[in-house]
Chains A and B, each alone.
Chain A
Amino acid sequence: MDYTAMKDAELIKLYIDGDEKALSFLINKHEQRIFSYILSKIQNRDLANDVFQDTFVKIIKTFRKGNYNEEGKFLNWALRIAHNLVIDHFRKQKRIPTVTPNDEYDIFKIIKDGSENAETGMIREQIEKDLHKLILKLPPEQLEVLRLRHFSGLSFKDIADQTGVSINTALGRMRYALINLRKLMQEHNMSLSLS
Chain B
Amino acid sequence: MDKTTTLRNDHQVNARPDRQTIKNILNFSKAYRYEKLENGLDFEMIQN
Binding site for B on A (CB under 8 A): 20, 23-24, 27, 31-32, 35-37, 39-40, 45, 48-49, 52-53, 56-57, 60-61, 64-65
Q: A40-B11, A60-B25 are in contact. Are A52 and B17 (CB under 8 A)?
A: yes
Is the Cβ of A60 less than 8 Å from the Cβ of B28?
Answer: yes
Instruction: Give the number of chain B interface residues (Cβ < 8 Å).
Output: 24
Distance in angstroms from A20 CB to nearest chain B CB is: 6
- Ordered by A's residue number, 15 sampled pairs between the chains whose C-beta atoms are within 8 Å are A20-B29, A23-B25, A31-B17, A35-B16, A36-B12, A39-B1, A39-B12, A40-B10, A40-B11, A40-B12, A49-B21, A53-B17, A56-B28, A64-B32, A65-B42
Chain A interface main SS type: helix
Chain B stretch 1-25: residues in CB contact (< 8 A) with chain A: 1, 10-18, 20-22, 24-25
Nearest B-chain residue to A57, judged by Cβ: B28
Residues of chain B within 8 A (CB-CB) of A40 are: 10-12
Q: B22, A36: Cβ atoms under 8 Å?
A: no
B14 to A, closest residue via Cβ: A32
Chain A residues with CB under 8 Å of B34's CB are 61, 64-65
**Hey, which bits of chain B sit against chain A, CB under 8 A?**
1, 10-18, 20-22, 24-26, 28-30, 32, 34, 36, 42, 44
B25 touches A45 (CB 8 A): no
Give the complex CA separation of A57 and B34 in angstroms: 13
